[in-house]
Amino acid sequence: MPLGGPGFDTPLNPGGYVWWYLDATSDDGRHGLTLIAFIGSVFSPYYARARRRGPADPADHVALNCALYGTGPNRWTMTERGRGALQRNATRLQIGPSALQWDRGVLEVTLDELAVPWPGRVRGRLRVEPSTVIEGGPFTLDAAGAHRWQPIAPRARVSLHLDAPALHWSGEGYLDTNWGDTPLEESFSRWHWSRCALPDGNSQVRYDVHRLDGSTMSLNMKVGRDGQLNHEPPGPTLALPRTRWRLARETRGEARLLQTWEDGPFYARSLLSVQHRGQAMRAVHESLSLDRFAAPWVQALLPFRMPRRAG
């Protein structure tokens, strides 16, 4: 998949999902962004309701989540749409008015989304040029093999050019994809993930998964400039400060919380300062609680951040 692109035509079973994830931080450290394109939106209350009624078509629950963080205007978009808004082949994915296009090793993103809960537009372009394309994977996250994760570009140069809000910057980024056959909450209780671009041109990616059956999986991967993987011992667990929603966060090794980008009842995205050979580096980190996500009170809150449009 990495050598041929992100594989936007990944086949899906009823009740399944696939998403493509991108994050980036600006070179000056003032801005950050994440972008996630979903087919079978795993956090959608509408998709969960459809699955309870029987086999559900993931193509009828698509969304593009874009979040802007930092000193400029912050925005959050995640409008869910039906199958009529989806068009895709191996190199192009269109969800409503926004699209992702893979062309000769470069990802071009066209954005035209409405922010929630405070109205505002996110309109413009995003260019992702992988610096490293990974050799290896995909990685199975659960014992049954129903959930897979594939880093595509552990580091990339990202250029953002938005008209609304007016925002232009460049920085270091990361690109991967996850896909599976069953809902996340049926296999996992929580996970913690982070990625860091190292000063020697290498990258480090950590993934700690806690499954519902009580088993765990820890990955600590050093990715070279040539895309080769080196698996290293995970290292000791470090507890990070809980969020305002009292969500537990943890990582590995030496780290310090710099900023909480996203603070939700079941999900947190953060910027960390991590130590590498005595030098402080920035790392993007996420903590996800599927136990929290499945709670009825959280399900009742989700439509306020994830509106659905017909078609």
pLDDT given for residue 37 in this prediction:
98
pLDDT value, residue 1: 44
pLDDT at 2: 45
Calculate the dihedral angle through the C-alpha atoms of 35, 41, 45, 46, rounding to the nearest 10 degrees: 120
pLDDT beneath 50: ranges in the chain: 1-2
Q: What dotted CATH number matches 17-304?
A: 2.40.370.10
The pair of three-digit structure tokens given for residue 14, joined into one six-digit string: 């009823």
pLDDT of residue 169: 97
156-181 pLDDT, tens digit each:
999 999 999 999 999 999 999 999 99
Q: Give the long-range contacts of residues 67-70, CB within 8 A, separation 24 or more.
A: 67/33, 67/34, 67/35, 67/261, 67/262, 67/269, 68/31, 68/32, 68/33, 68/122, 68/165, 68/167, 69/31, 69/32, 69/33, 69/259, 69/261, 69/262, 70/26, 70/30, 70/31, 70/32
In the DSSP assignment, the letter for residue 308 is B
Q: Are 158 and 119 in contact (CB under 8 A)?
A: no
**Distance (Å, rounded) from C-alpha 276 to C-alpha 175?**
22
pLDDT given at position 85? 97
Cα distances from 181 to residues 18, 39, 148, 191, in angstroms, run 9, 12, 9, 18
pLDDT of 288 reads: 98
